[in-house]
């Protein structure tokens, strides 16, 4: 039996009711278990760090993941594990602890002790875990938090160690001394994918400086945006294949690339021209003489020098640039480091102790004072900042452990091409291009809290890499108390070298936290030590989804690790989401006060409304958040479905109808069924293709068709006093379509869908039911009804434009296109009903149009010249107009007038209006006789009575008494249409009414209506 619902839609009340129901009946766990033993679908949660609260962007990703998990469950797939995950290590955690302690740099941590600091890090990891779980639960994001994987657990770390040993054994884990991206505030190197997440557009000084050529009155002009590196200059680099010129400019003789000169100086005289190759070996004087150099100070060649910017001459400070360092190694030079690990100048100089940015400003002043500065500019360029603390990065010489990504680049790139990316342009664009660079992964970090690098070395250079905790402990002479795989306990483990007998110590680094999260696809199983079958069943993962920034984060680390360790991609399908922006299209900011708390949003607008906002457009397009727009969209969709069920269930309950298949009696019913089946097919296709926005569009369209088309046309059948075959047919079709809509909507709006589903079926939960299956559909019928709807929409538009209120009937609708003759024969009654017309018929447009032709002066003027005016007069003659209309051309003054020479003005004949933009295919009569006028007034009275019924807060099914009084025309209307008015409002006439009374003015007639509940 269909259950009753309140007349008015209250989404927040629904969500509260369903939330309690889910919890009391353990619906989530039942959903997890319902498909056990069936075909698997694998999913991996991207682990957030719970030491900060979730924001609306996290809500978006959780809603997206939940949608597809619910859909796949309804399609019969078994998803296991379906667990949450927590990212626990690295700079995100350390920096928050530093903030709480007021720590400014690494040395303060070392003073307080690693053990104490790491203990605080561990305690802070789950600071906001309850908020994360609450957001997930309120969003309806169904994953298992009790069995979440945790990246700081020893078992998880042990799996990572196994993978790192695999990489080491394959020659893909190695130590090297390189110039690497480095955060002076955090005191550690960063990987290229971390660097890629932190670029900002900034305005910087760029300077052109003069290096004095030794023994000659000439200068090399070099350009730099990092003046702080100039004290460490060791070489000048030219491109051997570029042309260089010596110019005279304001009494100075300057060397620069020929193609760059016009951009640097004006009014110069070329004195000499040489290739870069010819300049190689030329000596020059030290620019800033505080560093005692033993090597360098001559020009070298390098193909990394271009003519695109600068002067075509690059200053090389080998400690602070990878290309510069390569030059130094080639030239057998020495490495001079003039900056310490905190990013401060360490060279004995006027700038000693300054941070590099402050030193840059002072060095520019020094160069200007000493006459070595040629030119200063301000330039906007993209520069990397630390992705966690926001400090400007420098390039710095550091010994690090690397993963040899470059050695397997082709394989990594090729495996990416097998992944289904949504949108697909990410695969070969943002993500694919980054993979093509194939830079080695700087894995080790000069930090404290993280997965320890499993490498022990002795003083003779021998290396031991344990692949498990057991392998380590079996080799160690003693085990510290309370041992776990973190610093400082793991650092205390000493091992005797098997090769030389010396003691081995661990390399004192944790690893990049992105290796932690990127190992989740196998480490969550403690593979290979346990759960091998479970891992094989879930690898590659069928589906993951996160925001666009993870193309340089989690997506990257997953793909690289899986490619290198397993030779497979980590995942098969990935949905990439863009960010949620504020209403002005800007990134939300805490400082601006527009960062949105997801719980506050859900409390105000409801979960389903928020989820539908996320799904309304393509996930990979930025979304401007508007609470009003989100609520409006939700109410349009969910409110429409709610009202449809209310109308249907109220009438069906009165008739005692119970759900069951009925005989379909008319084309309208068949169309609604076919339209529903088509929608099921398209929604399934779109969700299988990971295009939720297109699926939601189809659900919205079907919901509107059911409400605004089918139910409106079926209302008379619903209201009839008898229960017959036709009425049962309409009930069945409505039930089938509504139930299909609710099931399709379940992954999108889980609370609302479960509420309506339970009222319709009495079953436990829509989330324990199957997704609807399409049974095929009749394209011909759907195409015909599409034409019918087009005719109706045109007719409505004509009525609206011409002030013909749809409530008031018109005499006739004329369809002027012969191609619609069969449609009108078949569906004429339906079209007439929708357009409130007494008659609909096909006729030729020629009967309703007069056409006047006149010469197009711009075109015809070329034919007639000075005789144009005479030709116009001749062409206006009635016989000439008639001849042209029949034959399409006419002879005038010796010239042939054709269609291209003529402008046509068309006017409708008689009392008809149309829409010229649609080709005058639909004409609406404006003749209103007495009978039509009175019927229109009757409909106006019905509308007012229904409005008063609503104001009186009466139920849809409540019978009422009414009294309608007015002038003679109102009385005549009541005499002629009393039966229609009373049946339409479920009312009876009563003269002595004590209920509400209201006076209305309708078309200059005063109407007094009294109403009370019967």
pLDDT average, residue stretch 798-824:
91
User: Among 338-347, 660-669, 781-790, 985-994, which is the least confidently predicted range?
Assistant: 660-669
pLDDT given for residue 185 in this prediction: 87
pLDDT given for residue 593 in this prediction: 63
> What percentage of the chain has pLDDT greater than the value 70?
99
Q: How far apart are CA 499 and CA 458, in angstroms?
A: 10
Residue 578: φ, ψ to 5°: -85, 170
pLDDT average, residue stretch 632-644:
96
Q: How far apart are CA 193 and CA 178, in angstroms?
A: 17
The reply to whether omega before 488 is within 30° of 0 (cis) is: yes
Residue 274: pLDDT band (50, 70, 90) is very high
Residue 541: pLDDT band (50, 70, 90) is very high
Q: How far apart are CA 614 and CA 602, in angstroms?
A: 13
Higher pLDDT, 640 or 904: 640
Q: How far apart are CA 219 and CA 209, in angstroms?
A: 9
CATH architecture of 89-124+153-197+392-404+440-529: 3-Layer(aba) Sandwich (3.40)
Give the pLDDT confidence of 923-955 residue by residue, as tens digits: 999 999 999 999 999 999 999 999 999 899 888
pLDDT average, residue stretch 538-562:
96
pLDDT given for residue 356 in this prediction: 94
Residues 6 or more apart whose Cβ sits within 8 Å of residue 94: 117, 121, 186, 447, 448, 449
Enzyme catalytic residues:
47, 87, 514, 550, 554, 587, 590
Q: How far apart are CA 984 and CA 384, in angstroms?
A: 71
Decide if pLDDT at 184 tops 60: yes
pLDDT given for residue 4 in this prediction: 93
89-124+153-197+392-404+440-529 shares its CATH topology with 626-777: no
- 626-777 CATH choice from 1.10.1040.10, 1.10.730.10, 2.70.98.20, 3.40.50.360: 1.10.730.10
> What percentage of the chain has pLDDT greater than the value 90?
75
Q: How far apart are CA 247 and CA 312, in angstroms?
A: 14
pLDDT given for residue 852 in this prediction: 84
Alpha-carbon distances of 647 from 202, 204, 375, 650, rounded to whole Å: 60, 67, 79, 5
pLDDT given for residue 387 in this prediction: 79
Cβ atoms of residues 331 and 296 within 8 Å? yes
Radius of gyration of the chain (CA): 40
Cβ atoms of residues 928 and 990 within 8 Å? no
Decide if pLDDT at 1 tops 80: no
pLDDT given for residue 591 in this prediction: 56
Question: What dihedral angle (degrees, nearest 10) is formed by the CA atoms of 88, 91, 96, 101?
Answer: 120
Give the pLDDT confidence of 328-337 residue by residue, as tens digits: 999 999 999 9
pLDDT average, residue stretch 443-465:
96
Strands 144-150 and 83-86: parallel
pLDDT given for residue 592 in this prediction: 61
pLDDT average, residue stretch 200-218:
93
pLDDT given for residue 746 in this prediction: 98
Helix ranges (H only) for 379-531 are 409-416, 425-428, 430-437, 469-475, 513-518, 520-523
Alpha-carbon distances of 894 from 853, 858, 887, 890, rounded to whole Å: 19, 19, 17, 10
CA angle 107, 111, 116 (to 5 degrees): 115
Decide if pLDDT at 368 tops 70: yes
Residues 6 or more apart whose Cβ sits within 8 Å of residue 820: 787, 791, 842, 921
Cβ atoms of residues 959 and 986 within 8 Å? yes
Q: How far apart are CA 718 and CA 64, in angstroms?
A: 39
pLDDT average, residue stretch 574-603:
82
Residues 6 or more apart whose Cβ sits within 8 Å of residue 965: 1007, 1008, 1009
Say how many CA atoms lie within 13 Å of 248 toward its Cβ: 5
Q: How far apart are CA 564 and CA 165, in angstroms?
A: 12
What are the sequence ranges of the domains in the chain?
A: 89-124+153-197+392-404+440-529, 199-384, 626-777, 778-928, 930-1013
pLDDT average, residue stretch 797-815:
92
Q: How far apart are CA 809 and CA 932, in angstroms?
A: 6
Say how many CA atoms lie within 13 Å of 542 toward its Cβ: 20
pLDDT given for residue 850 in this prediction: 83
- 199-384 CATH choice from 3.30.2020.30, 3.50.50.60, 2.40.50.140, 3.90.740.10: 3.90.740.10
The reply to whether omega before 800 is within 30° of 0 (cis) is: no
Q: How far apart are CA 305 and CA 533, in angstroms?
A: 53
Decide if pLDDT at 590 tops 80: no
Three-state DSSP class for residue 574:
strand
Q: How far apart are CA 365 and CA 127, in angstroms?
A: 48
Q: What is the mean pLDDT of the chain?
A: 93
- CA 110 to chain centroid, in Å, comes to 42
pLDDT average, residue stretch 279-292:
96
Residues 6 or more apart whose Cβ sits within 8 Å of residue 969: 934, 937, 1005
């Amino acid at each position: 039996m269909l259950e009753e619902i309140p007349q008015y839609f209250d989404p927040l009340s629904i969500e509260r009711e369903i939330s309690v129901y889910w919890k009391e009946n353990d619906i989530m766990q039942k959903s997890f278990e319902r498909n056990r033993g069936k075909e698997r679908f694998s999913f991996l949660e991207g682990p957030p760090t719970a030491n900060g609260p979730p924001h609306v962007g996290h809500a978006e990703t959780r809603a997206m993941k939940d949608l597809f998990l619910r859909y796949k469950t309804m399609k019969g797939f078994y998803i296991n594990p379906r667990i949450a995950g927590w990212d626990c290590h690295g700079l995100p955690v350390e920096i928050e602890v530093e903030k709480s302690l007021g720590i400014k740099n690494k040395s303060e941590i070392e003073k307080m002790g690693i053990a104490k600091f790491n203990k605080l890090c561990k305690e802070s990891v789950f600071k906001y875990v309850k908020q994360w779980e609450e957001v997930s639960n309120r969003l309806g994001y169904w994953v298992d938090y009790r069995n979440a994987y945790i990246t700081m657990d020893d078992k998880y770390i042990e799996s990572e160690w196994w993978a790192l040993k695999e990489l080491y054994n394959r020659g893909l884990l190695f130590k090297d001394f390189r110039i690497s991206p480095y955060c002076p505030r955090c005191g550690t190197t960063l990987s290229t994918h971390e660097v890629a997440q932190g670029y900002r557009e900034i305005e910087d000084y760029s300077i052109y400086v003069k290096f004095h050529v030794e023994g000659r009155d000439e200068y090399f002009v070099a350009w730099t945006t990092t003046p702080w590196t100039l004290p460490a200059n060791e070489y000048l680099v030219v491109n051997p294949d570029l042309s260089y010129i010596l110019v005279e400019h304001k009494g100075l003789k300057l060397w620069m690339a020929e193609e760059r000169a016009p951009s640097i100086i004006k009014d110069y005289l070329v004195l000499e021209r040489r290739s870069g190759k010819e300049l190689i070996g030329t000596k020059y004087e030290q620019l800033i003489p505080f560093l005692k150099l033993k090597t360098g100070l001559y020009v070298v060649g390098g193909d990394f020098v271009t003519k695109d910017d600068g002067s075509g001459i690059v200053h090389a400070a080998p400690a602070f640039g990878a290309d510069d360092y390569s030059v130094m190694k080639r030239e057998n030079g020495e490495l001079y480091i003039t900056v310490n690990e905190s990013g401060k100048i360490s060279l004995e100089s006027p700038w000693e102790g300054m941070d590099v940015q402050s030193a840059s400003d002072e060095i520019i002043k020094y160069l200007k004072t000493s006459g070595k500065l040629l030119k200063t500019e301000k330039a906007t360029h993209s520069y990397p900042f630390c992705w966690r603390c926001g400090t400007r990065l420098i390039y710095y010489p550091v010994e690090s452990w690397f993963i040899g990504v470059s050695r397997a680049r082709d394989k990594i790139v090729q495996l990416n091409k097998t992944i289904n990316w949504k949108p697909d342009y990410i695969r070969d664009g943002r993500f694919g291009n980054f993979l093509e660079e194939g830079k080695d992964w700087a894995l080790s970090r000069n930090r404290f809290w993280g997965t320890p690098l499993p490498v022990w070395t002795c003083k003779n250079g021998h290396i031991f890499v344990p692949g498990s905790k057991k392998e380590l402990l079996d080799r160690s002479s003693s085990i510290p108390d309370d041992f776990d795989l973190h610093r400082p306990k793991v650092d205390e483990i000493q091992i005797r070298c098997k090769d030389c007998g010396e003691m081995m110590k661990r390399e004192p680094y944790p690893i990049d936290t992105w290796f932690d999260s990127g190992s989740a696809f196998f480490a969550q199983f403690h593979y290979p030590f346990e759960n091998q079958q479970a891992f094989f069943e879930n690898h590659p993962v069928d589906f993951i989804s996160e925001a666009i920034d993870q193309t340089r984060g989690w997506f990257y680390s997953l793909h690289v690790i899986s490619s290198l360790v397993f030779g497979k991609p980590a995942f098969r399908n990935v949905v990439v989401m863009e960010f949620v922006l504020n209403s002005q299209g800007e990134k939300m900011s805490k400082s601006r006060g527009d960062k949105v708390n997801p719980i506050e949003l859900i409390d105000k607008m409801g979960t389903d409304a928020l989820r539908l906002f996320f799904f309304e457009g393509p996930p990979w397009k930025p979304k401007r958040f508007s609470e009003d727009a989100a609520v409006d969209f939700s109410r349009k969709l969910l409110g429409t479905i709610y009202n449809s069920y209310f109308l249907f269930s109220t009438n069906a309950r009165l008739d005692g109808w119970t759900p069951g298949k009925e005989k379909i009696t008319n084309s309208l019913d068949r169309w609604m069924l076919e339209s529903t089946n088509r929608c099921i097919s398209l929604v399934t296709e779109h969700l299988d293709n990971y295009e939720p926005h297109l699926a939601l569009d189809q659900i919205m369209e079907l919901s509107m068709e059911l409400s605004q088309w089918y139910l409106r046309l079926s209302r008379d059948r619903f209201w009839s006093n008898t229960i017959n075959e036709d009425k049962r047919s309409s009930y069945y079709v409505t039930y089938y379509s509504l139930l299909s809509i609710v099931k399709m909507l379940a992954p999108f709006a889980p609370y609302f869908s479960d509420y309506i589903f339970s009222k319709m079926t009495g079953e436990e939960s829509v989330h324990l039911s199957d997704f609807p299956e399409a049974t095929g559909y009749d394209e011909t019928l759907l195409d015909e009804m599409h034409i019918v709807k087009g005719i109706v929409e045109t007719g409505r538009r004509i009525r609206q434009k011409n002030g013909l209120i749809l409530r008031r009937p018109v005499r006739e609708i004329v369809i002027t296109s012969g191609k619609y003759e069969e449609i009108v024969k078949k569906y004429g009654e339906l079209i007439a009903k929708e357009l409130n017309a007494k008659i609909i018929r096909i006729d030729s447009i020629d009967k309703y149009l007069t056409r006047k032709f006149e010469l197009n002066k711009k075109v015809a003027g070329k034919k007639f010249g000075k005789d144009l005016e005479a030709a116009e007069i001749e062409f206006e003659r009635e016989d000439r107009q008639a001849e042209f209309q029949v034959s399409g051309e006419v002879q005038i003054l010796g010239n042939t007038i054709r269609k291209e020479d003529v402008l046509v003005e068309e006017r409708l004949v008689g009392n008809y209006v149309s829409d010229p933009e649609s080709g005058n295919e639909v004409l609406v009569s404006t003749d209103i006789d007495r009978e039509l006028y009175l019927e229109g007034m009757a409909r106006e009275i019905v509308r007012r009575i229904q409005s008063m019924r609503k104001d009186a807060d009466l139920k849809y099914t409540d019978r009422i008494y009414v009294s309608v009084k007015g002038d003679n025309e109102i009385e005549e209307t009541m005499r002629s249409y009393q039966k229609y008015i009373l049946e339409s409002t479920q009312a009876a006439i009563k003269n002595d009414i004590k209920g509400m009374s209201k006076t209305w003015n309708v078309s200059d007639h005063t109407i007094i209506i009294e109403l009370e509940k019967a």
